[in-house]
Amino acid sequence: MALFVHKYGGTSVGTVERIEAVADKLQTFRQAGHDLVVVVSAMSGETNRLIGLAKSIQDQPAPREMDVLVSTGEQVTMALLCMALERRGIAARSYTGGQVRILTDSAHTKARIQDIDVVNIQSDLQAGRIVVVAGFQGVDEQGNITTLGRGGSDTTGVALAAALKADECQIYTDVDGVYTTDPRVVETARRLDRITFEEMLEMASLGSKVLQIRSVEFAGKYKVPLRVLSSFVDGPGTLISVEEDDTVEKPVISGIAFNRDEAKLTIRGVPDVPGVASRILGPVSKANIEIDVIVQNVAADQTTDFTFTVHRNDFDATRQILEQTAQELGAREVAGDNKIAKISIVGVGMRSHAGVASKMFDALAAENINILMISTSEIKVSVIIAEKYLELAVRALHTAFNLDANETVSE
Ligand code: ADP
Ligand code: ASP
Ligand code: MG
């Protein structure tokens, strides 16, 4: 008998039939004697639909009202799931984030969980009920509804599992685990039995949206056993593990992540003097725009070209800021490209293997794909390339690093 936190994503609860199927699954767990706290997402497409409604009225709706609006999606699912459970004779009770009291900061649309009151949930569990919680939402000190950013129900699940000291947090989704890369892009992608937190954190932050990055951070920090599984087919899924598994020989690269949401800007012919980087990036950061990869090249004429990437949504705003900075610094020009993508190879095995980056560059060169920028850390190498080559590049790297399903690596 264990305590599980389950999280069901949008596709898994996308229709009434699927909600009924989730109720069947929960009944099986219940019959095996387990306690269950279930976090649900909005039915698939619902959050986008709500955002669309808001945008049809106002370009930039107030973040507070956006949260009031988009949090309704999860509330629908939680009630329907409780009804499906009750119909099966299983006692269940639903809670919004505010009713649990998932306390967050007040950063509307990207709030962070600060504290969770588990009293209500625990007394329901003791009374033999399944507790169903709306994912993605919380409440701030003043009682305002907040949301946790897209994909935030994963974080609700892991945070509840941490607060309740659950035996495992199980993320049920539309794929049967974490794959070497997005299985919807590379058909030969392989499911991983295990992946380390460190690797999963890199994969999530570099664009693999199978788990929201904050949920992985939470799981690592509070040592929550975390598993990704399919709602539709039974199987072991993927365990996100604290320890590296020494029993199998680790491949050098565990996975490939990619992200189409990037844009690149260059300010050319800036005087190469101390303080220039801060003069260029300072106003961008002040506008709350996150900067990702940065490259600076010095030319023979004592000037420098400075290039960096931002989220594609921030492209126009960043360009405007840079035009202003370019005038102040007497730069030659500002150039931009928002049709780029970032591909990253990730693996803790990189620490003990040389030549990983050059193997990546060779594989891309063999396909005639030009690398625009490079960035590395201890367990990843990222490159920026033209977006039109993204799929070709991911496939080429997947094969070059022996990740294809028909290869025999460690299984
Ligand atoms: P949910 O609605 O259940 O939260 P998401 O759409 O957020 O589901 O996440 C699941 C999707 O993540 C999959 O359908 C898949 O396309 C995508 N994905 C991206 N990278 C990976 C990966 N490395 N392994 C598995 N799925 C991935
Ligand atoms: N419904 C929210 C979204 O679509 C949260 C989630 O599904 O995790 O982003
Ligand atoms: Mg998700």
In sequence order, what are the residues at sequence separation of 6 or more whose Cβ sits closer than 8 angstroms to the Cβ of residue 375?
292, 293, 294, 381, 382
Residue 199 Cβ inside 6 Å of ligand 1? The answer reads no
Structure confidence by residue, pLDDT tens digits, 75-117: 999 999 999 999 999 999 999 999 999 999 999 999 999 999 9
Atom of ligand 1 nearest to the CA of 231: 3
Q: Is the CB of 210 under 6 A from ligand 1?
A: yes
- Could you give the domains of the chain? 3-174 (3.40.1160.10), 255-400 (3.30.2130.10)
Distance between Cα 232 and ligand 1 center (Å): 14
Ligand nearest to the CA of 50: 2
> What DSSP string describes 212-234?
-HHHHHHHHHTT--EEEEESSS-
Q: Is 212 in the pocket of ligand 1 (CB under 6 A)?
A: no
Atom index in ligand 2 nearest the CA of residue 73 equals: 1
C-alpha distances (whole Å) from 330 to each of 315, 325, 337 are 22, 8, 22
Three-state secondary-structure class, residue 163 = helix
For a ligand 1 pocket test, name from 186, 209, 213, 240 the mutation site with the most ligand atoms within 8 angstroms of its C-beta: 209
CA of 10 from ligand 2 middle (Å) equals 7
- Pocket test residue of 22, 180, 182 for ligand 1, highest count of atoms within 8 A of CB: 182
- Contact partners, residue 28, CB within 8 Å, separation at least 6: none
Measured between alpha carbons, how far is 135 from 139 in angstroms, rounded to an integer?
12
- pTM value is 0.93
Is 140 a pocket residue for ligand 1 (Cβ < 6 Å)?
A: no
| Ligand minimally distant from the alpha carbon of residue 183 | 1
| DSSP structural state of residue 150 | T
Distance of CA 70 from the midpoint of ligand 2 (Å): 9
- For ligand 2, which residues put their CB under 6 angstroms from it? 9-10, 41-42, 47, 73, 135-136, 150-154
% of the chain surpassing 90 pLDDT: 89
Residue nearest to atom 6 of ligand 2 (CA): 151
Distance separating alpha carbons of residues 370 and 390, to the nearest angstrom: 11
Given pLDDT bands bounded at 50, 70 and 90, which one contains residue 409? very low
The CB of 66 under 6 Å from ligand 1? The reply is no
Spatial distance between the Cα atoms of 24 and 268, rounded to a whole number of angstroms? 61
Give the number of other CB atoms < 10 A from CB of residue 287: 12
Q: How far apart are the first and last CA of the chain?
A: 31
- Which residues are bridge partners to 93 per DSSP? 131
What would the mean pLDDT of 281-285 be, rounded to a whole number?
Answer: 96
175 CB under 6 A from ligand 1?
A: yes
Closest ligand 2 atom to Cα of 150? 9
What are the pLDDT digits (tens) for 182-227?
999 999 999 999 999 999 999 999 999 999 999 999 999 999 999 9
Tell me the pLDDT tens digit for each residue of 132-191: 999 999 999 999 999 999 999 999 999 999 999 999 999 999 999 999 999 999 999 999
